[in-house]
């Protein structure tokens, strides 16, 4: 592509992005303009970049998952039905769940969106934490539902009592534990309280995308087993390193499953994702090993931050919020000048930036870059030919919105 073609191509995309933004903003009110979403997806990262901005797993899929993918390739001409059955059976056996309480999706974003569409409406609010994971707010905007954002407590758990008090018309309560972006847990007893006291007809959706990283977290699957109006989301995108392969579960009783699946057309799973997920579940060393490695790296970063006088929200996850004591966007931009891509900010905590825990080597490079930025060696935005910072663009992508 010539330079002018490339420019036109970029302009057309930008125009398309703006058109998508305009229609979504109309649907979602101020939600999206308030949020600084993810980076642009139509540009590659520069060579050698340290990418710790999207809560991905730098290790990628396990060896057992890779082997399973390679072995299944010849079957790529067939749909995934019986392979999906095996995945469900495997997870059901591990969790002691009936098989009809588990649905498989390409990631957890899909059931998250469908559940919000199913249980919220102009008369039934969507209730979430602030700061919290924003994807459901976008879906609530599409459903025409009011979004009720409730600040976290002083210990960064969901303030379930305030969530109940602020939304007597709630359709769906979204609880993310460990929370994205804080990496903090909401006690199981608080989730139980929410489930017991919620308005009739509403549901509680517990997003456990990061639960494998946390110490002392009690999953909410027992509430599903007890027949409560609870949907638990799980994903293979985080500890299992399969964000690009796409696999996740909605765990709920069949009546709720049906309402979620009403939004899904014929959309069989990619066989590669299904066999990789099954192999990962059968690999009993995988979660404990990766959890240990993530915690060790995270704690070393925390020690370094602490001994250098920086503060942060103590996290149980693969990400944490770091206090910069200045406009977090400037820090993000200055870090990018050093080829270190850190995550985003939440408007309610504008001086904090979210950092994903990468490998030990990546985190050492992060530390070097962060110290330079904080000492003022690198400031402000990049001048010259570079395009707009990824973090200035509100998560736009030709195919819609992207959060991580
Ligand atoms: N839930 C939370 C809390 C997340 O942070 C993410 C992605 O970052 C998702 C859900 C969606 O992930 P996926 O669709 O890859 O499962």
Q: Using 70 as the pLDDT threshold, list the residues of the chain that sit under it.
A: 1-41, 378-402
- Measured over the CA atoms of residue 389, residue 394, residue 395 and residue 398, the dihedral's sign is negative
Give me the residue label for tokens 């059901």.
Answer: 92
CA of 208 to the centre of ligand 1 (A): 9
397-400 long-range contacts (CB < 8 A, ≥24 apart) are 397/17, 397/40, 397/41, 397/42, 398/13, 398/16, 398/17, 398/20, 398/42, 400/20, 400/24
Give the model confidence (pLDDT) of 84-138 as tens digits: 999 999 999 999 999 999 999 999 999 999 999 999 999 999 999 999 999 999 9
Looking at ligand 1, which atom is closest to the CA of residue 176? 3
Q: Which domains are assigned to the chain?
A: 45-57+286-392 (3.90.1150.10), 63-282 (3.40.640.10)
Q: What is the pLDDT of residue 2?
A: 36
Cβ(273) – ligand 1 distance below 6 Å: no
Phi, psi of 334 (to 5 degrees): -65, -35
The helix/strand/coil state of 60 is: coil
**Residue 318 CB neighbour total at 10 angstroms:** 30
Q: What is the pLDDT of residue 44?
A: 87
Calpha distance 190→344 (Å, rounded): 28
Q: What is the pLDDT of residue 265?
A: 87
Q: What is the pLDDT of residue 13?
A: 36
Tokens representing 58? 């730098």
**Crossing angle of the two packed helices 81-95 and 271-282, in degrees rounded to 10:** 30
Give the model confidence (pLDDT) of 278-335 as tens digits: 999 999 999 999 999 999 999 999 999 999 999 999 999 999 999 999 999 999 999 9
Residue nearest to atom 11 of ligand 1 (CA): 109
Calpha distance 274→136 (Å, rounded): 25
The helix/strand/coil state of 324 is: coil
Choose the residue to mutate in 132, 135, 240, 317 for probing ligand 1, maximizing ligand atoms within 8 Å of C-beta. 135
Q: Are strands 400-401 and 352-356 parallel, antiparallel or unpaired?
A: unpaired
Cβ(247) – ligand 1 distance below 6 Å: no
């Amino acid at each position: 592509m010539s330079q002018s073609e490339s420019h036109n191509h970029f302009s057309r995309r930008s125009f398309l992005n703006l058109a998508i933004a305009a229609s979504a903003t109309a649907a979602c009110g101020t939600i999206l303009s308030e949020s600084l979403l993810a980076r642009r997806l139509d540009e590659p990262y520069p060579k050698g970049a340290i990418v710790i901005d999207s809560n991905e797993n730098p290790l990628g899929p396990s060896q057992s998952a890779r082997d399973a993918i390679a072995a299944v390739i010849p079957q790529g001409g067939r749909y995934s039905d019986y392979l999906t059955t095996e995945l469900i059976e495997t997870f059901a056996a591990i969790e002691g769940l009936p098989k009809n309480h588990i649905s498989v999706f390409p990631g957890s974003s899909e059931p998250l969106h469908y559940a919000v569409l199913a249980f919220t409406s102009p008369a039934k609010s969507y209730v979430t934490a602030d700061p919290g994971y924003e994807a459901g707010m976008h879906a609530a905007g599409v459903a025409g539902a009011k979004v009720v954002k409730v600040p976290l407590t002083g210990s960064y758990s969901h303030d379930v009592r305030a969530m109940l008090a602020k939304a007597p018309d709630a359709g769906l309560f979204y609880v993310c534990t460990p929370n994205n972006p804080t990496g903090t847990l909401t006690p199981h007893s608080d989730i139980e309280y929410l489930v017991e006291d919620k308005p009739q007809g509403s549901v509680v959706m517990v997003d456990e995308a990061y639960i494998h990283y946390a110490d002392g977290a009690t999953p909410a699957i027992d509430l599903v087993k007890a027949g409560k109006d609870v949907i638990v989301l799980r994903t293979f995108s985080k500890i299992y390193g399969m964000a690009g392969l796409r696999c996740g579960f909605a765990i709920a009783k069949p009546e709720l499953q049906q309402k979620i699946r009403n939004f899904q057309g014929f959309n069989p799973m990619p066989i590669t994702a299904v066999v990789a997920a099954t192999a990962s579940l059968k690999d009993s060393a995988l979660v404990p090993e990766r959890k240990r490695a993530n915690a060790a790296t995270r704690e070393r970063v925390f020690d370094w931050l602490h001994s250098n006088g920086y503060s942060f929200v103590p996290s149980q996850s693969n990400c944490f919020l770091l206090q910069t004591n200045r406009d977090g966007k400037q820090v993000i931009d200055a870090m990018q000048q050093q080829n270190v891509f850190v995550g985003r900010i939440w408007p309610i905590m504008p001086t904090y930036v979210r950092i994903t825990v990468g490998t030990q080597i990546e985190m050492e490079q992060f530390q070097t870059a962060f110290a330079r930025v904080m000492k003022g060696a690198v400031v402000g935005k990049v001048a010259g030919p570079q395009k707009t910072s990824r973090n200035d663009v509100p998560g736009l992508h030709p195919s819609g919105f992207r959060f991580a």
